[in-house]
Amino acid sequence: MKARRDRYDENYFNSVGDRLPLYRGIITRRYANLVREIAPGGGRLLELGCGDGRLLHALAGQYALTGIDISEHAIARARRLVPSANLRVGDIATCATDAHYDVVLALNVLEHVPDPRAVMLRVREMLAEGGTFIFAVPNKHGRVGRALVRFMDFMDRTHISSFTREHWLQLADELGFEQRLVLNATWFGPTRADFARSLAPILIVALYRQRAGQASSDEPPGDANDIAMVMADYPELLTGQFE
């Protein structure tokens, strides 16, 4: 664990995101709006890999916030930014907690861990009945992702788990999650078009844990058209890139 923690020191967080605060601010705001739309009921929220707490800060006052990150440096920054949140250093795959959360987030996190399945299984244990799990991962296997990796060597070396869209959805199904929403995010916004889907560099998935005795829905999981309607009050979500 120490070796992994050392990768995410001050140098890691003083990277492109910190040098482009406006960009980071836009992305954080879009993610916060997305969370509010998918899980508007408030309650207890846990962010895995919370980094320096920017998203938690954007959600403060709407949820009871908890954040976990492997980086001591990141948690120190998060505590200054979101003093009201419960923040701690820990490995998201083995973190001990007796709490159950209404919302669990892992946004651009699962690609950094050696065993995403173990993390997702832990998430299922931590979710309250009817709770929502939202994760986002890079789609390196899409056309844009393949081109960036092949021709520009555009790859974060800390991304050690890179799967296809189909693999992520199959994994979620195997672990007993129910799909609520599968959203493809391109630089031009979320879309359902097959061509744009093949380009999308980011995959966003919202899952939920069923309540006891609740039958599975026969309806197919939501897609980008559904969320476009839900987020009519947030048109800024329909442009730009989630990353």
Strands 44-48 and 178-186: unpaired
**Stretch 215-242: mean pLDDT:** 39
Residue with tokens 């031009």: 188
pLDDT per position as a tens digit, 99-156: 899 999 999 888 888 889 999 999 999 999 889 999 888 766 554 444 444 444 445 4
**Could you tell me the CATH superfamily of domain 2-213+225-238?**
Vaccinia Virus protein VP39 (3.40.50.150)
What is the structure's pLDDT at 165? 78
The CA distance from 115 to 120, in Å, is 9
What is the structure's pLDDT at 54? 94
pLDDT over threshold 70, residue 172: yes
Burial class (CB in 10 A: 0-12, 13-18, 19+), 33: middle
What is the structure's pLDDT at 212? 52
- Spatial CA neighbour of 119 closest among 185, 165, 168, 57: 168
Q: What is the 3-state secondary structure (H, E, C) of 12-29?
A: HHCCHHHHCHHHHHHHHH
Q: What is the 3-state secondary structure (H, E, C) of 183-226?
A: EEEECEEECCCHHHHHHCCEEEEEEECCCCCCCCCCCCCECHHH
Residue with tokens 């959203």: 183
The CA distance from 166 to 79, in Å, is 37
Q: What is the pTM of this model?
A: 0.72
Q: In which band, very low, low, confident or very high, does the pLDDT at 180 lie, cut at 50, 70 and 90?
A: confident
Q: How far apart are the first and last CA of the chain?
A: 25
